[in-house]
Chains A and B, each alone.
Chain A
């Protein structure tokens, strides 16, 4: 099944019977799903299928209507849980980058380290520089987000998330807002992360990335998981009619 290390420890992410509705609109209709440490799980599906909502429920940016989400053994749907502490261990990368436009690149990377992790300024800067180097932008630490290309902004956003030393990373269509020629650099960084053993959940339209880098591929449609398996299997030999229909349109 999975190509990367299957450890015996508890799953990084467990989702049990998750429902989410916006008013009368049911977006997630009973999701059961988990991600093991070190796994790279790609989630695909037509727009409106609920894949982004599922991802956003995992760090509770969206409040689930019912069901349970457990991160490294901690139930985050329990109102007693310190969600800020859990979130600081989950890196999140957005489609629209969401860098802080009033802060330069370095400050974008250090602010949460200092405020949340209570790191000293020098330590935070060291970690920030290390991560900027990793995404290939060591020379842009003084730039403001508005002066960077979309691809550079997204790599800074990845470095910002990495600076919190997260145990896992969530990617919400990280390349969908990018010009085609800038997609490659971002995917390259993500691929490198996957090789280093980072636990990743990636909502994406990049079938090539899913096939090449993903350990598992989940196909969602209309609020449910339709198919879940080895990417090459799901892409090459889809079992469900809905998967076949979707893939025939995008591939």
Chain B
């Protein structure tokens, strides 16, 4: 048998197996039940427009708040981690290891329920505010490592050039290193944003008023009240509408960085 014939035959078998599996799965599935329970147009209509104007909007607001807060805190942590003063490094390392080692869900519950009791302090925004704060604290731990890597990726010659012009350490960091570092980490930061957007669904563990609900809380509540799985599919579509373009953007940015090197 010729090599090309053999390749063609193997490929043919692979397609046949795939087709068989699809047909088998399609035959076994109860299409009527699936349509009724997950793709009910009447239920879809009931979810509209709140799923966009309340749920998706809140998901985005919580994510953006948590991300900007987390980014600011992570910058501080990254600078501490690179500090010549050892205790700052220890604190930053301890913080990062601690919050990366914990499940985000646990931290959210801690912030929403335990912290107010322990400290008699209710964060702005109430329980949901506490949940978002927990996301800030957790995402900062992840972002800090990314930001630190970005800072260290700026060539040493840049610092030397700035210092040899007489700029002090702070000016060098602010006007030479950080602008370049942030450019380097835009693709990984966008990735972190997508991860955080999905993690905002963990806020569903917290009770929220109707106007505070994000996508997952909204769809779970609708699932209960309507006794139908369609809200889950609707929420999934909303998440994908937001995340898919972002991951495309990351892919584009990464290709561009590769080219410019």
Chain A residues with a Cβ under 8 A of chain B: 59, 61, 84-85, 87-92, 94, 96, 98-102, 111-112, 115-117, 146, 157, 160-161, 164
**Binding stretch for chain A, among B73-81, B120-128, B174-182:** B174-182
Q: Which of B157, B165, B176 has the largest number of chain A CB atoms within 10 A?
A: B165
Cβ B180 vs Cβ A101 within 8 A: yes
Whether the Cβ atoms of B165 and A102 lie closer than 8 Å is no
Counting CB contacts under 8 A, is B164 at the interface? yes
User: In the bound complex, how far is the Cα of B260 from the Cα of A146, in angstroms?
Assistant: 9
Check A111 against B164 for contact (C-beta < 8 Å).
Answer: no
Q: Is the CB of A92 within 8 A of B175?
A: no
Q: What are 11 A-B pairs with beta-carbon distances under 8 A?
A: A61-B163, A90-B164, A96-B157, A98-B155, A98-B157, A98-B158, A101-B180, A111-B175, A112-B165, A115-B171, A164-B166
Within the complex, which residue of A85, A92, A102 is in contact with B179, where a contact is CB–CB below 8 Å?
A102
Q: In the complex, which residues of chain A have a beta carbon less than 8 angstroms from the beta carbon of B163?
A: 61, 84, 87
B186 within 8 A of A: no
Contact of A102 (CB < 8 Å), options: B155, B161, B180 = B180
Chain B residues positioned under 8 Å from A92 (CB to CB): 160-161, 164-165
Identity of the chain A residue whose Cβ is nearest the Cβ of B165 in the assembled complex = A112
B164: which of A59, A85, A117 is its contact (CB, 8 Å)? A59
Query: Are the C-beta atoms of A164 and B161 separated by less than 8 Å?
Result: no
| A115 adjacent to B158 (CB under 8 Å) | no
Q: How large is the interface on B (under 10, 10 to 19, 20 to 34, 35 or more residues)?
A: 10 to 19
Give the chain B neighbours of A99 by CB distance below 8 A: 161
A90 to B163, CA, bound (A): 11
Q: Establish whether residues A84 and B164, one from each chain, have CB atoms under 8 Å apart when the complex forms.
A: no
Given B158, B166, B168, which contacts A100 in the complex, CB threshold below 8 Å? B158
Q: Which residues of A contact B166 (CB under 8 A)?
A: 84-85, 87-89, 112, 116-117, 164
State the Cβ distance, B153 to closest chain A Cβ, in Å.
13
Question: CA A111 – CA B260 in complex, angstroms?
Answer: 25
Check B183 for interface membership: any CB of A closer than 8 A.
yes
Question: Does residue B52 face the partner (Cβ distance < 8 Å to A)?
Answer: no
Quote the shortest CB–CB distance from B85 to chain A (angstroms): 17
Q: Pick the 3 closest A-B CB pairs, nearest first.
A: A88-B166, A112-B165, A98-B161
Interface residues of B (CB under 8 A from A): 155, 157-158, 160-168, 171, 175-176, 179-180, 183, 260
**Bound CA–CA A98/B164 (angstroms):** 11
CB distance from A34 to the nearest CB of B (A): 21
Q: Smallest CB–CB gap between B66 and chain A, Å?
A: 28
What's the least CB distance linking B82 to chain A, in Å? 18
Closest to B156 in A: A98
Looking at A61, A87, A102, A117, the one whose CB has the most chain B CB atoms below 10 A away is A102
Cβ–Cβ < 8 Å partners of A117 in chain B: 166
Residues of B within 8 A of A101 (CB): 180
Nearest B residue to A160, CB-CB: B165
Kindly list chain A residues whose C-beta atoms are within 8 Å of the C-beta of B180: 100-102
The CA-CA distance from A111 to B172 in the complex, in Å, is 10
When distances are taken between beta carbons in the complex, the residues of chain A under 8 Å from B171 are: 115-116
Min CB gap A113→B, angstroms: 9
Given contacts A117-B166, A161-B165, 17 further A-B contacts (CB under 8 A): A59-B164, A87-B163, A87-B165, A88-B165, A90-B164, A94-B160, A98-B155, A100-B176, A102-B179, A102-B183, A112-B166, A115-B167, A116-B165, A116-B166, A160-B165, A164-B165, A164-B166
> Closest CB of chain B to A74's CB: distance in Å?
14
Give chain A nearest CB distance to B258 CB in angstroms: 15
Beta-carbon contact of A98 and B160 below 8 Å: yes
Nearest Cβ in chain A — how far from B28, in angstroms? 58
A98 to B155, CA, bound (A): 9
Q: Give Cα A174 to B190, complex, Å.
A: 39
CB distance from A98 to the nearest CB of B (A): 4
Q: In the complex, A128 Cα to B157 Cα: how many Å?
A: 22
Q: Which residues of B contact A146 (CB under 8 A)?
A: 260
Residues of A within 8 A of B157 (CB): 94, 96, 98
Q: What chain B residues lie within 8 Å of A100 (beta carbons)?
A: 158, 161-162, 176, 180
Determine the chain A residues whose CB is within 8 A of the CB of B179 once the complex forms.
102
Contacts of B175 in A (CB 8 A): 111, 115
Determine the distance from Cα of A161 to Cα of B168 in the docked complex, in whole angstroms. 16
B99: min CB distance to chain A, Å: 31
Cβ–Cβ < 8 Å partners of A102 in chain B = 179-180, 183
Output the nearest chain A residue to B161 by Cβ-Cβ distance: A98
Q: Report how far A182 CA is from B58 CA in the complex, Å.
A: 58
Q: How far is the CA of A111 from the CA of B166 in the complex (A)?
A: 11
When distances are taken between beta carbons in the complex, the residues of chain A under 8 Å from B162 are 100, 112
**A112 touching B167 by the CB < 8 A rule?**
yes
